[in-house]
Structure 1
Amino acid sequence: MRFYTDRVTSRTGGAVDISYLFTAGIFVQIALLFYVLGLLVRNELLLRGLLLIGTMFYILYYFFVSDVPLWDAIFASAMIGLANVIMILVILREKSTLGMSDDMLVLYGTFTTLNPGQFRKIMRHADWITTPEDLSICTRGVRSDYLYLVSKGQVILRDDGRNVAVGSGNFIGEISFLLDCPATADVIALQGTELVRWDRRKLMSLMHKSVRLSNAIGALFNADIARKLSVSWPKDQAHRE
């Protein structure tokens, strides 16, 4: 396919050839510009968006560069662009809470250090349980196989003859999980309490596979422990049995 060509006259009277701007070659230069810009940014979503635009201009170049489009090159570039589109959609999903149920949205509010994608990943390995009666979920001196989050209701922490009620939004067993040690207190989930439960080995395996997820969960548990220590065994709640 032929492109329109022309020449313009500069103020000094000399002719300036702008014909290149109307050839297929200009698409390569534009594609190169977007590729370079993409490689200069650190934001992954923006990077992929710029590379996708660059790929589109490469496709235009392969289509117009000769009388017969270069279909092999067009197909290869289209596949690269499609892979980029898929990853852009994955990134957008990881950053969005779209599709979460109301209960999941409320629960996600507890996971302040995780993005929606990381939250979905760990929730795929979680169990939701409701205690039919008072249930011991942690025993002091015994390593628990599970990590718990109180979703609704209360649990009672017992240590050295003192009891403290812990409500929703609190993790149970996070110290044992982080340090791989026995539980530091007895914990009783009261009847009707709703808990989210993770198998500690499965959760640890997820963390080993992703440094970002491991750092996010570690920061979450550290914040939870610090918050508990700031109100540790308050006198107005604790009492001797």
Structure 2
Amino acid sequence: MSIHLVSFVGHLAFFLTAISFVVKDIVVLRILAIFSSVAAIFYNYFHPMGSPDWIPLSWCIIFALINVWRVCQIYTEKYQVSLSSIELEMLDTSFSNFNPVEFAKLMRASHWESVDASTTLTKENEVPEKLYFVQNGSILVTRDAKEIARISDGTFIGEMSFINDSRASATTTTLTSTKLVAWDRLALDQLLSRNPTLSILLKHSISVDLTKKIKGQPDPI
């Protein structure tokens, strides 16, 4: 085996490892790690010193198998996910930073609520028990009994109270029959503490929603 070819493959193994450190997609990262391990296996088997270097070669085989197993597991979970048409619409719009598996985990911790008009969701200066996402409906936002905004589909309610663990800065009341996704705060806190990635993704979705509200002038609740 040409020493130049073996050396090239050795450099390729380290190059692929370096690239894997900067990619954000976990599947791409693991696929790069697999190819890096395969290149390292080739290099260590046809080692320039003339005989296989079995210690790194053995570990590279183990690393490759672990990453193959994890990639298969990720794709298996992905194809086992079952989302309704409404949930898929939410995923495509307000939760587009989630992948289907992560979004399914978040939705399993929630429940749907259908409420009539004039239902109070949060009360000013009280700590909300739930974080809401408006799937369909119209909400009146008041402070000191004065209207400050109206919000509708695709927005969170109680998001600032949830993030800051604080009291609601406004009262929210439904203007129409409204369909909501609701998360009990305690259960959601427990889920996010076990899944830091979900916590980051949810806070990103909330931040995007807050940005839209600020541009449209409604105050975060």
Cα deviation for residue 86 of structure 1 reads 3.0
Count matched residues: 203
The one of 157, 161, 176 aligned to 1:172: 157
1:2-40 residue CA offsets vs partner (Å, 9 max, x unmatched):
xxxxxxxxxxxxxxxxxx34xxx9997676445312221
Inter-partner Cα distance in structure 2 for 1:53 and 1:146:
45
Residue 35 of structure 1 aligns with an amino acid whose one-letter code is: A
Please tell me whether residue 87 in structure 1 is matched to residue 70 in structure 2: yes
Is the Cα contact below 8 Å between 2:131 and 2:159 reproduced in 1? Answer: yes
Is 2:38 aligned against 1:53?
no
The alpha-carbon distance between structure 1 residues 120 and 34, as it changes in their structure 2 partners (threshold 3 A), is: farther
Task: Report 1:16-95 matches (<5 A).
Answer: 20-21=1-2, 32-41=10-19, 42-43=22-23, 45-56=27-38, 80-89=63-72
Structure 1 residue 80 displacement after superposition: 4.2
* CA distance in 2 between partners of 1:62 and 1:40 (Å): 18
> What residue is the counterpart of 1:183 in the other structure?
168
Matched, 1:192 2:177: yes
Q: Is contact 1:145-1:199 (8 Å) kept? A: yes
CA shift in 2, pair 1:124/1:139, >3 Å = same
Could you tell me which residue of structure 1 aligns to residue 90 of structure 2? 107
Is 1:147 the counterpart of 2:131 in the alignment? yes
Q: Answer 1 or 2: which has greater helix percent.
A: 2
Q: Over residues 160-189 of structure 1, what are the superposed CA-to-partner deviations in whole Å (9 max), with x where a residue is unaligned?
A: 333343210111011211221111222223
User: What's 1:202 paired with?
Assistant: 187
Secondary structure of the residue aligned to 1:168 is: coil
Distance change (3 Å), C-alpha of 1:57 and 1:225:
closer
Identical pairs, percent? 24
Shift in CA distance, 143/51, structure 1 to aligned 2, threshold 3 Å: closer
Specify whether residues 29 and 48 from structure 1 end up closer, same or farther in structure 2 by C-alpha distance, changes over 3 A only: farther
Corresponding residue number in structure 1 for 2:120? 136
Separation (CA, whole Å) in 2 of partners of 1:56 and 1:27: 15
Q: CA deviation at 1:148?
A: 0.2
Give the deviation of 1:224 after TM superposition. Answer: 2.3
Q: Secondary structure, in 3 states, of the residue corresponding to 2:177?
A: coil
Say if 1:129 and 1:31 are closer, same or farther in 2 by CA, change over 3 A. farther
Q: What is the RMSD computed on CA atoms of the aligned residues? A: 4.0
Q: Relative to structure 1, is the Cα distance of residues 85 and 142 closer, same or farther in structure 2, using a 3 angstrom cutoff? A: same
Q: Secondary structure at the match of 1:176?
A: helix
Q: Which runs of 5+ in 2 are unaligned?
A: 47-56
Deviation at 1:225, TM superposition (A): 2.7
Contact (CA 8 Å) 2:7, 2:43: kept in 1 or not?
A: no
- How far residue 146 of structure 1 moved from its aligned partner, in angstroms, is 0.5
Cα distance in structure 2, aligned partners of 1:57 and 1:180: 49
Are 1:27 and 1:60, in contact at CA under 8 Å, matched by a contact in 2?
A: no
- Give ranges in structure 1 of 5+ residues lacking alignment: 1-19, 65-73, 235-241
Instruction: Please state how far the C-alpha of 1:78 moved relative to its aligned partner.
Output: 6.2
1:186 and 1:133 map into 2 onto residues whose CA distance is: 14
Aligned AA (2:15): L
